[in-house]
Amino acid sequence: MDLTFSQIAECLSVAEPTLERWIRQGRIPVERVGGECRFNLAVLERWARDHNMHFSLSEVEQKKPPGAIADGLAEAMGRGGVHRDIGGDSINAVLKNAVARLTMLPPPVRDELYDRLVSREQLSSTGIGRGVAIPHPRSPIGGGMPIIATAFLRNPIDFKAVDDQPVFVLFMLISDSIDSHLHLLSRLAFCLRDDDFLAFLRRYPEADALFKRIATFEKRLDDRH
């Protein structure tokens, strides 16, 4: 495999001028073909090991482009879907019924998710006030893209929320990494700070209308950056 100059520099975590100098000074094994420099990966790896240096190719390849985690809220909500008429009169019952609706997840994952959601609720309530709760597992659940499932309850219940108001809607946030978790959480919180949006939620909107509304919020957020 042919690596570019800057990739090699990154693998060794040095600046490009340093790599150039090392080549000039003959400190690093390199093959010169005409004016070009060619690196042999195996030789280079051995050299790095001999010098007690860290050399990792995989890290460079796995590094996501910066746009990757900026996955949209609307997309995640679309994947999670909007579920209505969730029954139950306790936190656990509501959660159990809501998780059961997440048919895009295989049953064992659903069971695990339920356990984790419950244990998170025991730690402290995810009811953030004004009738909204954001149940989520404490650590990311691997596999797949992050999802946010919106679940409207049949009857508002006491969720031990911070303002003691009964909760009527759950946004279940299931993500594969801390980064995307925080990213989505902060975007969701931004929307929920808006009074109009809350009033809009109280009208139990249709999925399409909800996603459209979310998309306009996101546009505003993106414009600010």
Q: How far is the CB of 158 from other proteins (least distance, A)?
A: 33
According to CB under 8 A, which one of 64, 138, 203, 224 is a site residue for other proteins?
224
For position 55 contacting other proteins by CB under 8 A, the verdict is no
Type of residue numbered 205: P
Is 13 a residue that touches other proteins (CB under 8 A)?
yes
In whole angstroms, the minimum distance from the beta carbon of 155 to other proteins comes to 39
Q: Which of 136, 181, 183, 225 is catalytic?
A: 136
Task: Rule CB under 8 A: say whether 143 interacts with other proteins.
Answer: no
Residue 14 near other proteins by CB under 8 A: yes
| 186/2 Cα distance (integer angstroms) | 41
CB of 184 to other proteins, least distance (A): 16
Known catalytic membership, residue 136: yes
Smaller CB separation from other proteins, 51 or 219: 51
Among residues 6, 31, 59, 212, the one that binds other proteins under rule CB under 8 A: 31
Q: Would you count residue 156 as binding other proteins (CB under 8 A)? A: no
Sign of CA dihedral 200, 206, 209, 212: positive
The backbone torsions φ and ψ at residue 168, rounded to the nearest 5 degrees and listed phi first, read -115, -15
Catalytic residues: 136
